[in-house]
Amino acid sequence: MKKREVWMPIAVAIALIGMWEFCVDVFHVPLYLLPSPSRILISLYENRSVLFSHAMVTLVEALLGLGIALVLAMSTAILMDISKAFRNSVYPHLVVTQTVPVMVLAPLFSIWLGFGMAPKVLIVIFMCYFPITISFADGMAQVSQKQINLLKSFQASRFQIYTMVKIPAAASSLFSGLKVGATYCIGGAIVGEWISSSAGLGYYMLRMKNGYMLDKVFASVIVVIILSLLLNGCVDIAKKWLCPHAKKEHKE
């Protein structure tokens, strides 16, 4: 990556933040309308312990939902690859689930599952399941038929074909879907916390918003961004560790 590609976005971000700070100071914009970036950073520091405790609640919900979604998605994708009839039966329903707004389902999940962790985890599963499933299924569908035929000529079982060829070959696609899921999962947990919760970043943001303390709301948003980037980075690290061949193939 060229230095210019790194520094240009940083320069634009610094310029926008500088303009934001300047406009708030010059026009004396009140805190309950729009806090300045400096005020947000001060609030982030002053409330770091509170934000950390709420962030841990949200992170647990997000990771639990993402983990369950990963297991369900991999199982569904393998079944879709094994049976075309199953794929044709299930795929349209998977697409339909993505047309339903999460804000509509969140209150229903709370009514059905109560006000504990379960509805938040279910929302995360709902948001992460589709991209992981489709990415992994498409990755397995693109595996070379010659490799499969070669294994079949050696009397390889279906289990061996998937563990030795299909799943390893589609691992890069799986991680692509997982990156999308890792980006969605924090937001999904927060949506659930907006509806019903007593802890978490979503609960904290809603409480601060109702008190017109927007500096704390923006501080919470920064924490959400940091968590999402960290999860995304963890998926990248796992991909490089488990799929070292992916980068080489991309270069070639």
Q: Per residue in 157-182, pLDDT tens?
A: 889 999 989 999 999 999 999 999 99
| pLDDT grade for 9, boundaries at 50, 70 and 90 | confident
Question: Which pair of tokens denotes residue 227?
Answer: 């968590």
Mean pLDDT across 11-40: 93
Residues 104-158: tens digit of each pLDDT: 888 888 888 888 899 999 999 999 999 999 999 999 999 888 888 888 888 888 8
Mean pLDDT of the chain: 90
The pLDDT of residue 246 is 56
The pLDDT of residue 249 is 45
pLDDT reading at 14 higher than 90: yes
CA distance 120 to 87: 28
Give 62's contacts (C-beta < 8 A, 6+ positions apart): 124, 185, 186, 188, 189, 227, 231
pLDDT reading at 72 higher than 90: yes
Amino acid at 3: K
Mean pLDDT across 80-106: 89
More confident call, 252 vs 40: 40
For the chain, list the domains and their CATH numbers.
40-251 (1.10.3720.10)
pLDDT reading at 75 higher than 80: yes
The pLDDT of residue 252 is 41
CA distance 112 to 85: 32
> Using alpha carbons only, what angle is made at residue 243 by residues 177 and 63, rounded to the nearest 5 degrees?
45
> Using alpha carbons only, what angle is made at residue 227 by residues 132 and 244, rounded to the nearest 5 degrees?
50
| pLDDT grade for 1, boundaries at 50, 70 and 90 | low
Q: Specify burial of residue 215 (Cβ count, 10 A radius: 0-12, 13-18, 19+).
A: buried
Cβ–Cβ < 8 Å for 200, 189 = yes
Residues 186-245: tens digit of each pLDDT: 999 999 999 888 899 999 999 999 999 999 999 999 999 999 999 999 999 999 888 776
pTM, 2 dp: 0.88
